[in-house]
Amino acid sequence: MEHSSSLPRDGRTIVVIGSSTGGARTLEIVFSQFPLVDAAVILVQHMPHSMNSALCRHIEEISFMEAGIAEDGEEIEHGRIYVAPSDLHLKLIKNRTISLFDDAKVQYVRPSIDVAMTSLERRESDRFAGVILSGMGSDGAEGIRHIKSIGGTTYAQALRTCAIHYMPRAAFATGRVDEMLPPEGIRENLIRFAGIL
C-alpha cells in the first residue's frame, strides 16, 4: 500500500507489541488495513531469521504502515513499525534510539519482549502502549507491569482467540492489563490510542 511520511512531534507515542507461537495469524488481523498511525510501533516476534524480512514485507502489503527490521542506532519515527531482528535483544535509549545487543536470553528467548518494554522511560511528553499476543512462556509479563507503572496503556489477547494462551495469561496474572481483547479489538484500540497521521 502507499505510504506517507511524517516527522514526529517532540513527544513520542510508542507501541510495543510482543508475539510468539500463534502470533502470526493475530498480527495478520491486527495489521490488516491498519492506517498510518501517529506512533512508532516496536514489534518483538519470536521467529527464525528466515522470517524477518518476509514479516516486514507482509505488514507493508496489508497495512498503510512502513515496516522494517530495526537497526542499531536508528531513531524511531511515527508511522513506522520496527521489527526486532532474530537473536538480538532490542531496547530503546531515552525512548528515542534503538539499541540492539546479544546478551543472554531472557525468559529463554532473544529478542525478549520484556527487554524492549522495560527499556521505556517515564517522560511527561511520551505516551506508551504495550500489547501481548499469543505465545508460549511468560515473556512480556514484566514488560506489561513496567509499562503500566510508567503510566502506559496495556492490552493482551483474549485467551479464547489465542493459538497458545500462556503469554497473555501470564500478562493478565500481573493485574496490570487494562483489557483482554480479540485481535480485532486490539486493532481498533491501538488506532484510537495512537490516532491517525
pLDDT value of residue 134: 98
Q: Is the dihedral of CA 160, 128, 96, 145 positive or negative?
A: negative
Q: What is the rounded average pLDDT of the residues 68-91?
A: 98
141: pLDDT strictly greater than 50 = yes
Please answer whether residues 76 and 97 qualify as being in contact, where contact means their C-beta atoms are separated by less than 8 angstroms.
yes
Count of Cβ atoms closer than 10 Å to residue 64 Cβ: 18
Q: What local confidence, expressed as pLDDT, does residue 1 receive?
A: 53
Q: Cα(58)–Cα(67) distance, rounded to whole angstroms?
A: 9
Identify the active-site residue in 38, 114, 126, 139.
Answer: 139
More confident call, 90 vs 10: 90
**For the whole prediction, is pTM greater than 0.85?**
yes
What are the pLDDT digits (tens) for 171-183?
A: 999 999 999 999 9
Please report the pLDDT score of residue 9 as a whole number: 54
d(CA 166, CA 34): 26
20 is catalytic: yes
Domains and CATH numbers, the chain: 13-194 (3.40.50.180)
User: In the annotation, is 10 catalytic?
Assistant: no
The single residue of 20, 63, 112, 138 carrying the catalytic annotation is 20
The per-residue pLDDT for range 145-171, each reduced to its tens digit, is 999 999 999 999 999 999 999 999 999
Instruction: Write down the pLDDT at residue 8.
Output: 44
Residue with the bigger pLDDT between 197 and 13: it is 13
What would the mean pLDDT of 104-115 be, rounded to a whole number? 96
The arithmetic mean of pLDDT across residues 92-105, rounded, is 97
Catalytic site residue from 19, 46, 112, 138: 46
Mean pLDDT, residues 67-76 taken together = 98
Residue 139 annotated in active site:
yes
Question: Phi first, then psi: what are they for 180, rounded to 5°?
Answer: -100, 120
Q: Which residue has the higher pLDDT, 49 or 121?
A: 121
Q: Is the pLDDT of residue 10 over 90?
A: no
Q: Is the pLDDT of residue 84 over 90?
A: yes
